Amino acid sequence: MLNQLPNYIGSPSWWQLINWIGDPIRFQQKYRQKYGDIFSMQLGGLGSFVIVGNPQAIQEIFSQDSKFDIGRANKLAEPLIGRTSVMLLDGDRHRRERKLLMPPFHGEKLNIYAQKISIITKKFANEWQIEQPFVARSTMQKVSLEVILQIVFGLSEGQRYQQIKSLLTAWLDMIDSPLRSSMLFLQSLQKDWGTWSPWGRMKHRQRCILDLLQAEIDDKRTKNNGKGDDVLSLMMAALDENGQPMTDEELKYELLTILFAGHETTATILAWAFYQIHKNSDVLEKLQRELDILGANPYPMEIAQLPYLTAVVQETMRMYPVLPTLFPRITKSSINIAGYQFEPDTILLPSIYLLHYREDLYPHPQKFQPERFIGRQYSPSEYIPFGGGSRRCLGYALALLEIKLVLATVLSNYQLALAEDKPVKLQRRGFTLAPKGGVRMMVTGKR
């Protein structure tokens, strides 16, 4: 099979897997230089994959999403987010789930969420001490977790709120480095020998979180009959075309997916944004001027419309893809993409990194230049921080709102500086990529 794939890498498959787990960005840089923007790799027992970094080819893939199995291709994530997660579904079941999940994350509900995001940000930023270093990503993780607990679950106090908080943090910290992340990719490490083994501990914490989520669902059903502005209440009230609600199992695993996917990624993007904003004084000055024009206590949705703030967020997500590639897509039948004929069961991986670092689309891609997003609209196959096709991230509108409001709230009230004058590198954290060390900063004054 591998020999039929384009530009396949000849090194041993176990060596490719080690390098992919350790540094997927360097891996892609190396082989793009050798093979161009479409090449094939074999990652040990995980199988063969075709990396695609060409915008025309990616557009062809997105426009033919129905010809791929995407949920089946995400089996690697099943031990974490469960078999009924929307990420692991295909066909009619996937369409049903997306339709039920979409409304709470869009439209008028965002106005309600916006006020809470600003209040939550101020609460955690108030804990900073002048001239005392702090880790930006750690604070942003607290903010993003609190946003999920309050906006998604409708929880802001009580024993269950505290338990979910501590358990989720402990659960995700188990995959906070390339070495620890290995157990997500190597089935030989996925042995549940009780809580003294890493995988056993991870599964135990997951079961505890699921029990807490079930208790919250039961509570909502009893106390308020699923009525409320939080996402969970809206999910519980949603009915499909046959008048059927989501089952408790579907609800639990969708909540787990939101916790797993929404919490880590938003914190990482915010940490990178603070890093680049304070590394580039001209960017900071322009942002502060734009924010100052709005005056004191601006309407949150006004902040979300600011053009330069929007461009800064877009450029951050271009430079620092949270995932090295989009979801894999498995061909159901023979298909032609970019002039290559792929047989059934070929796995294609559209690469966010290769696309976002193309010189023809983004001149000087290693430079942080928000201006490239001013007055230019990139197509859905040229800029893909939230994916594309039938699998675009459901929560992208809420994520963008949160990122903008957190940045605006902090920059309007605090003067920050980087605590260290050295480049921050990417490091694998589970399936995602995060800043190594989390970006150390300090407050130098208040505005």
pLDDT in tens, 118-131: 999 999 998 999 99
Q: Is the pLDDT of residue 105 over 80?
A: no
- pTM reported for the whole predicted model: 0.90
**Stretch 68-84: mean pLDDT:** 77
Confidence of residue 1 (pLDDT cuts 50, 70, 90): very low
- The three-state (H, E, C) secondary structure of the chain, written as one string: CHHHCCCECCCCHHHHHHHHHHCHHHHHHHHHHHHCCEEEEECHHHCEEEEECCHHHHHHHHHCHHHEECCHHHHHHHHHHCCCCHHHCCHHHHHHHHHHHCHHHCCCHHHHHHHHHHHHHHHHHCCCCECCCEEHHHHHHHHHHHHHHHHHCCCCCCHHHHHHHHHHHHHHHHHCCHHHHHHHHCHHHCCCCCCCCHHHHHHHHHHHHHHHHHHHHHHHHHHCCCCCCCHHHHHHHCCCCCCCCCCHHHHHHHHHHHHHHHHHHHHHHHHHHHHHHHHCHHHHHHHHHHHHHCCCCCCHHHHHCCHHHHHHHHHHHHHCCCCCCCCCEEECCCEEECCEEECCCCEEEECHHHHHCCCCCCCCCCCCCHHHHCCCCCCCCCCCCCCCHHHCCCCHHHHHHHHHHHHHHHHHHEEEEECCCCCCCEEEECCEEEECCCCEEEEEEEC
Look at residue 371 in the predicted model and tell me its pLDDT: 96
Question: Band of the pLDDT at 161, cuts 50, 70, 90?
Answer: confident
Residue 66, pLDDT > 90, answer no
Confidence of residue 419 (pLDDT cuts 50, 70, 90): very high
Confidence band, pLDDT 50/70/90 cuts, at residue 406? very high
Question: Which pLDDT score is estimated for 354?
Answer: 96
The domain defined by 53-446 folds into: Cytochrome p450 (1.10.630)
Binned at pLDDT 50, 70 and 90, residue 106 comes out as: confident
